Every structure is written in structure tokens, then in C-alpha cells.
Amino acid sequence: MGEPTAVNSNANSVRQNRAVKSLHLRLDVPLLLAVASLMAFGLLMVYSASWGASLELGDNPAYFFTNQLRWAIVGSAAMVGLSLVDYHRWRRLMVPMMLVTLIMLVLVLVTGETRLNARRALFGGSVQPSEMAKLAIIVYLAFWLYSKREMINNITFGLLPMAAILGITGGIILAQPDLSAVLTILIMGGLMFFLAGVDWKQVLIIVIVAGLLGWLLVTVMPTGKARLEPYLAGLRDPVEASYHVQRSLESVVRGGVFGVGIGRGATKFTGLPVAHTDSIFAVIAEETGLIGAAGIILLYMVVLWRGLKIASHAPDLLGKLLAAGCTLWIVLEATINMGVMVNLLPFAGNALPFISAGGSSLITCLAAIGLIMSVARVSNRTSTPEQGRPFSAVVDLRRRNGRRSVSGARRSAIPRE
């Protein structure tokens, strides 16, 4: 009589385990929902901000919206594909990826179309290699720093090669010129080196050199001077800010707390430059008010929280660098874009991730989310983390021994020594 009861009990246990496994998708749901919300809201705002520009091109009012929707589908497919592949498998593709990126950056200088005194795009403006270079440099540095983790504090094997990698990439982009992309790459390179656990002496060298380079870029180059001087004037008096910033601030003021309503903004028709790309946050502030703008900022904070959470539970240093690097890059891009629109930062051409119109930015940001999800999936299925160099005393993203949190029932099942 007791044997059938045991069999039934085991059968019930198996069914419960299967049910739990079927519900466990190994995806970070808050991160996925935040990205989906940003992208959906971005499509709505691209349509609102771009139909006037679409008509000016002699096309239908949904021209930019349709393109953005197409890129969103392609980018989402790339995100899903990357999330399903173990991030360790990309090791063999790192060098070819960087070579292709550098070749595309050179092609921009040779065959790219000149727009607004700069060459930044290929194929009729549909592909911007500088956007691809931002993600490529993060991924490449993550693998490179992981492979050199035992020698990272040796300047010959650490700082100097990394400076060469960033210098070559940034130098080619600077020739376009794309000052904001160069500064983004330099900042992310420094952050990746910092997160890898380098000693404080090299960190100090990086800070000093980065400060000098930044000063030279914004004071010596004509593009830098043209952006710094109006920024400083705008800090003294908003009326003396650049025309772009003045129109952006006008949008924010018109929006007030609750906004004028989606589609009812006027500044996008009266001189706000590139309303559907770089200036789309100003359109958001006007049409949805401070409430809508705060909601966007909150969603980016969710991305930051979940991305760093995934990095903290990564099974090795490579996963930590990939997840943290991609997360910080996305949030940095958003911070720069929003800061520029209210004159908190000098003018830069950074897109607002997941929201600004543009296929290159949208696809690379979604690809970065796919890599973060890949780290999360590997962490979820790995019971014993691989050996990897921790973030040391610089920043300890590892929690305890790097394993994910487990339930009390599972802990009780672990034999005590």
C-alpha cells in the first residue's frame, strides 16, 4: 500500500519541477519590460516628431516611423539571437569584428556622404559605423581585458595596448569628425579598464591623460570650441545658449508638468533641429511634460539597476565586463542626450537609446541588451561559476562567491561540511 503512495509522490514532484522549469525563462523580465517600454514609446514619439520632416522629404507622413519600425524588428531579432548564444563563443570573432569595424570607419572617410560638414554614414546615410564602433570597442575590450587579467597591472601588457586600441579607433572617428563618439569611446574604455580591477596608479594615469585629451578636443578643435563656448554662455544666461538649446528649453517650458499632449507639440515645427533624432527628448518633455520625461528617466534607471545586477551575478570576469560595459554605455548615451537638451552638458550628437530615430543606434543598443541577457542566461544555468578575476577592491560587483541567490529549500539541500 505504501509503494503506490511513494510513486505518486515522486510523480507529483516531477510534475512540479517541470512546471517550475517551464516558467523559468532565464530572462530578466524587468530589464526586458523596461527596454520594450522605451522602444514602444520611442516609436510613438518618432511618429509624432517626424511626420513634418517626412512631408518635407516629399514622402508619406509615416516615412521615418516605418523605417524605425523596420529597424526595431531587425534589432529585436538580433537581441533574441544574441541572448540565446553563450557569450563565451564570441571569442574567436573579436579580432574580425574589430577589423570590419575599422574598415567601415575608413570607408566612411573615403566614400561617405558629407552632411553638415561631416562624413559619418554609409549606404545613403542608413548605416553609421561610429555607432557600431561604440559597442564593438566595449565587447572587444571585455574579451581582451579578460584574456590579459593576470597581466593587467603591467603597463606594457595593459595600459599601453589599450591606449593603442582606443587611439586608433578614436583617431579614425575624429577625422569624420564625430567628437561625441570619440569622447564616448574614451570614457567607456576608461570605465572598462577600471572595472577590470587595474591598480590605482594606472587609474590615475588614465584620468590625467583623459582630462588632457578632453581639454585638447574641446579647446583646440573647431568643433569642440563651437560647442563649448555656447555651453558656457548658456550657463550664464539661457538666452545666450546655442539656438538648438534655446529651442529645446522652449519645448521643456511649454510642456510644463503634464505636457501639451502627444502630437500637439509646436516647437518641432518652428525650428527645433532634428526633432526626431537628437532632440527627441525635448519633444517628449513638451508633449508629455515633466511627468513623461521623469518616466523615461525612471526606465533608464531600471536598465541600469538590472544590468548591474546581472553583472554582479555573472559567472566570470568576462560576463561582468560585458554586462556592466553594455549597461553603462546605454545609460551614458541617455544621460548625455538628456543633459544636452537642458544645457547641463555641452552639445553632443548622442542619440537617445531605444527612442531616437536611427537604425544604427537602435540595432546596436538592442544587440547590447542581447549580450546582457546572454550573461543572465549563462548565470542562471551555471551552478558552479567559472574562475575569473574579480573586480578586486576597485568595485566588487560579485556577491559573496559570485553565485546567484538561491531559495531556502535549495540551500537546505546543500550538504554542510
- Long-range own/partner contacts, residues 401-406 (CB < 8 A, 24 or more apart): 402/313, 402/314, 402/315, 403/313, 404/313, 404/379, 404/380
In which domain, by residue range, is 202 found? 38-381+388-398
For residue 113, the model assigns a pLDDT of: 67
Is the CA virtual torsion 365, 366, 372, 375 positive or negative? negative
Using omega within 30 degrees of 0 as the cis cutoff, is the peptide bond preceding 61 cis? no
18 within some domain: no
For residue 87, the model assigns a pLDDT of: 93
23 within some domain: no
**Secondary structure (3-state) at 52:** helix
Give yes or no for a contact between 113 and 120, defined as CB atoms under 8 angstroms apart.
no
Give yes or no for a contact between 194 and 203, defined as CB atoms under 8 angstroms apart.
yes
409 within some domain: no
**Secondary structure (3-state) at 115:** strand
Alpha carbon separation from 232 to 24, 149, 190, 252, 333 (Å, rounded)? 52, 41, 26, 20, 21
Give yes or no for a contact between 45 and 352, defined as CB atoms under 8 angstroms apart.
no
Q: Which residues are CB-contacts of 237 (< 8 A; sequence separation ≥ 6)?
A: none
What's the pTM? 0.83
For residue 116, the model assigns a pLDDT of: 59
Number of domains in the chain: 1
For residue 382, the model assigns a pLDDT of: 66
Grid coordinates belonging to 346: 555641452
CB atoms within 10 A of CB 332: 19
28 within some domain: no
Q: What's the CA gap between 286 and 175, in Å, rounded?
A: 35
For residue 325, the model assigns a pLDDT of: 95
Grid coordinates belonging to 412: 537546505
Per-residue pLDDT of the chain (417 residues; tens, 9 = 90+): 444 544 455 555 545 554 444 345 577 899 999 999 999 999 999 999 988 888 777 678 888 999 999 999 999 999 999 999 999 999 888 889 999 999 988 888 887 666 655 667 776 666 788 888 999 999 999 998 898 888 877 777 777 888 888 888 888 888 877 788 888 888 898 888 888 888 877 778 877 877 787 777 767 776 677 778 888 888 888 888 888 899 999 999 999 999 999 989 989 888 888 899 989 999 999 999 999 999 999 999 999 999 999 999 999 999 999 999 999 999 999 999 999 999 888 888 789 999 999 888 999 999 999 999 999 999 887 644 443 344 333 344 444 444 444 344 443 343 333
415 within some domain: no
| Helices 63-84 and 359-381, packing angle to 10 deg | 20
Q: What's the CA gap between 250 and 285, in Å, rounded?
A: 10
HSE, side-chain direction, 13 A CA sphere, residue 63: 13
For residue 312, the model assigns a pLDDT of: 93
For residue 286, the model assigns a pLDDT of: 95
348 within some domain: yes
Grid coordinates belonging to 128: 553609421
15 within some domain: no
What are the residue ranges of helices labelled H in 265-358? 280-312, 317-341
30 within some domain: no
For residue 392, the model assigns a pLDDT of: 38
